[in-house]
Structure 1
Amino acid sequence: MTTTTPTQNPETPTPSVWVQGWHGSARHLASPNYGPRPAQAQIDLIVVHSISLPPGQYGGQAVQDLFLNRLDWDAHPYYQSIRGLQVSAHFFIERDGTLWQFVDCDQRAWHAGASQYRGRSQCNDDSIGIELEGLEGATFEPAQYNALARLCTDLAQRYPIAHIAGHEHIAPGRKADPGPGFQWPQLQRLLAWDARRFPAHTLQPLR
Structure 2
Amino acid sequence: MRLHKGWIQECRQCVSPHFNARPNNEVSLLVIHNISLPAGQFGLPYIDQLFQGCLDVQADESFCDLQGLEVSAHFLIRRDGELVQYVSCDDRAWHAGISTFEGRTGCNDFAIGIELEGTDTTDYTDAQYERLKQLTLALFDAYPMLNRNLIVGHSDIAPGRKTDPGESFDWDRYRASLDEA
TM-score (norm 1): 0.83
User: Map of 1:1-207 to 2, 5 A cutoff?
Assistant: 17-39=2-24, 41-159=25-143, 160-162=145-147, 163-192=150-179
Q: Deviations over 1:110-144 (max 9, x none)?
A: 00000001221100000000000001232100100
Q: Deviations over 1:10-49 (max 9, x none)?
A: xxxxxx722210001111011000000012x521100000
Q: Report the Cα distance in structure 2 between the residues aligned to 1:76 and 1:56, rounded to whole angstroms.
A: 13
Work out which of the two has the higher radius of gyration on C-alpha atoms and give 1 or 2: 1
Identity rate, percent: 45
Ranges in structure 2 where 5+ consecutive residues have no aligned partner = none
Q: Report the Cα distance in structure 1 between the residues aligned to 2:5 and 2:125, rounded to whole angstroms.
A: 29
Ranges in structure 1 where 5+ consecutive residues have no aligned partner = 1-15, 194-207
Q: Deviations over 1:171-190 (max 9, x none)?
A: 00000001100000000111
Q: CA deviation at 1:84?
A: 1.5
- Pairwise CA RMSD: 1.2
Corresponding letter in the other structure for 1:33: H
Q: Report the Cα distance in structure 1 between the residues aligned to 2:41 and 2:128, rounded to whole angstroms.
A: 16
Tell me which stretches of 4 or more aligned residues in structure 1 moved more than 4 Å. Answer: none
Q: Deviations over 1:131-171 (max 9, x none)?
A: 00001232100100000010000000000203000000000
Corresponding letter in the other structure for 1:182: F
TM-score (norm 2): 0.95
Which protein has greater RCO, CA pairs closer than 8 Å, 6+ apart?
Answer: 2
Corresponding letter in the other structure for 2:177: L
Q: Report the Cα distance in structure 2 between the residues aligned to 1:49 and 1:186, rounded to whole angstroms.
A: 16
Q: Report the Cα distance in structure 1 between the residues aligned to 2:43 and 2:124, rounded to whole angstroms.
A: 14
- Provide the aligned length of Structure 1 versus Structure 2: 177
The answer as to whether partners of 1:51 and 1:136 remain within 8 angstroms in 2 is no
Corresponding letter in the other structure for 1:192: D
Higher helix share: 2
The answer as to whether partners of 1:137 and 1:177 remain within 8 angstroms in 2 is no
